[in-house]
Amino acid sequence: MVVLEAKSLRKAEVPLSLIENPSPGNIQSTRLALHVNEDGCSCFVYIASGCHLYKLQVMMDDWFVSEGKDSLFIPEQTPVMDSSMLNRCPHRSEVQSIALAETDSSGYMVLGSVDSYGHLIVSKLDTSGKDVDRLTYSVLPQDCGVGEGSWSGLCFSPSQWSMAAVARSFSKSIDVYDQDIHLRTLRTLWYPSSLNFVQNLSPVNGGPNMLAVTEGCQLTIWDLRMKENGGCLHRICGSVGDILYAVCSSSTGNIAVAGADRTVTIYDPRRWSALSRWVHCSKYEITGLSFSSIDSNYIYVQGVDYEVFCGQWRESSKVFAFRGDSNWLGFSKCSNRDVLGGWSDSGSIFVADVVAKENEISALKSLVN
């Protein structure tokens, strides 16, 4: 098994001239997305506050990590190289979630944002961080945003960037789009709190047509091609009364969920059974999960107690951890690299770069040769 280690952990401050007082957001930390430049020397961090989106460039080329009390890593202070507000149409209410997706054409990516009424705006960006006016579209919710605003979630299909799913908590609905074309609406029984397209299932089982959603204490699997049961393929009930706040899927197809019960549960979608339960791995509620892109036996866990840690879910053991300095307003992992980004209420940006240990890389190369 590959062994992971932190290459660097950096902390930068959002300029007060850019954001003086960030909007509070929701318990789910879904207002940050990041992209690492091709040279790996810096990354662009996108954050949302109020009705606007902002971009910051943070350096990350050095190899430096220091360890403090309780084996927690201490971040190295670094300046923000560049920062600006994105020149795009603002939302009419507070942005709840943002997401990045790689496009079919190299050198470009799409940035999506959704506000508390389900209004979706997608823009095409250059991977160098420059805005590109080649593609920008906006989609209003099917009910035109009638009613009370609430948390809204957004995710793109990993195999088809034009397909996006938008979850609206109070509306108990999930709208699926192909660019600005509405494909269908899924109706949940409880308030949806997280969603993710299931990766790497066989074409027979669906691939990009499968959506995992947490609603209340349940994990539900939806097949976008199925009409029976409103598209709901399977429903798994967790601990009654303990709300699930996070769901993610690995490159092998496994699905992880976690929430108020402070337990990470890994499911095998081929048998709909639990592969592993990492019980009480966090001190407080878990609101963020992401499998490692290097080795899916590792998972990153983010809780409301400022702590973020990496662990082996099969052995239920932590590998390393670090803490923010206040509540997380946004937290995310790069889609194709083990680079984590977090934004705290105090205005700090944390960027952690995780790699495989050198001796493990050499051993793997010798096995291949």
98 in a structural domain = yes
Task: Specify the number of domains making up the chain.
Answer: 1
Is the pLDDT at 175 greater than 80? The verdict is yes
Is the pLDDT at 357 greater than 70? The verdict is yes
Q: Which residue has the higher pLDDT, 201 or 54?
A: 54
Is the pLDDT at 304 greater than 60? The verdict is yes
What is residue 257's predicted lDDT score, i.e. its pLDDT? 97
Q: What is the mean pLDDT of the segment spanning 349-364?
A: 76
What is residue 177's predicted lDDT score, i.e. its pLDDT? 95
Q: Which residues pair with 136 in a beta bridge?
A: 123
What is residue 269's predicted lDDT score, i.e. its pLDDT? 84
244 in a structural domain = yes
Q: Which residue has the higher pLDDT, 256 or 366?
A: 256
Q: Sheet harboring 210-215: ordered strands across?
A: 192-197, 210-215, 218-223, 232-237
Helix (H, G, I), strand (E, B) or coil at 361: helix
Q: What is the mean pLDDT of the segment spanning 257-266?
A: 95
User: Mean pLDDT of all residues in the chain?
Assistant: 88
Inter-residue contact 333 to 300 (CB < 8 Å): yes
Distance CA 226, CA 331 (A): 33
24 in a structural domain = no
Inter-residue contact 91 to 26 (CB < 8 Å): no
Range of the domain at 302: 5-18+29-368
127 in a structural domain = yes
Nearest 5 degrees, angle CA 112-CA 25-CA 216? 90
Inter-residue contact 108 to 125 (CB < 8 Å): yes
What is residue 205's predicted lDDT score, i.e. its pLDDT? 47
Band of residue 133 on the pLDDT scale cut at 50, 70, 90: low
What is residue 161's predicted lDDT score, i.e. its pLDDT? 85
Distance CA 9, CA 339 (A): 10
For 48-112, the DSSP string reads EETTEEEEEEEE--S-B-EE-GGGEEEPEE--EEEEEE--SPPPSS-EEEEEEEE-SSTTEEEEE
46 in a structural domain = yes
What is residue 203's predicted lDDT score, i.e. its pLDDT? 47
Cα–Cα distance list, 326 to 39, 329, 343, 346 (Å): 31, 9, 9, 6
Q: What is the mean pLDDT of the segment spanning 85-111?
A: 85
Is the pLDDT at 262 greater than 60? The verdict is yes
107 in a structural domain = yes
Q: Which residues pair with 137 in a beta bridge?
A: 122
What is residue 204's predicted lDDT score, i.e. its pLDDT? 46
163 in a structural domain = yes
CATH number at residue 13: 2.130.10.10
What is residue 208's predicted lDDT score, i.e. its pLDDT? 65
Residue 116 CB neighbour total at 10 angstroms: 23
Q: Which residue has the higher pLDDT, 340 or 201?
A: 340
The kind and range of the H/E element at 291 are: strand 286-291
Is the pLDDT at 261 greater than 80? The verdict is yes
Nearest-CA neighbor of 109 among 119, 121, 118, 99?
Answer: 99
What is residue 56's predicted lDDT score, i.e. its pLDDT? 94
Six token digits for residue 49 = 């506050």
The kind and range of the H/E element at 368 are: helix 358-368
Q: What is the mean pLDDT of the segment spanning 277-284?
A: 93
Is the pLDDT at 10 greater than 80? The verdict is yes
For 116: left if phi > 0, alpha if psi spans -120 to 50, otherwise beta; the answer is alpha
What is residue 2's predicted lDDT score, i.e. its pLDDT? 86
Inter-residue contact 102 to 92 (CB < 8 Å): no
What is residue 364's predicted lDDT score, i.e. its pLDDT? 47
Q: Could you tell me which residues come within 8 angstroms of residue 6 by beta carbon, excluding any fewer than 6 positions away?
A: 65, 73, 320, 322, 352, 353, 354
Q: What is the mean pLDDT of the segment spanning 318-340?
A: 92
What is residue 108's predicted lDDT score, i.e. its pLDDT? 82
What is residue 155's predicted lDDT score, i.e. its pLDDT? 96
What is residue 238's predicted lDDT score, i.e. its pLDDT? 83
Nearest-CA neighbor of 319 among 351, 344, 356, 347?
Answer: 356
56 Cα distance to chain centroid = 18
What is residue 134's predicted lDDT score, i.e. its pLDDT? 60
Is the pLDDT at 19 greater than 60? The verdict is yes
Q: What is the mean pLDDT of the segment spanning 235-250?
A: 90
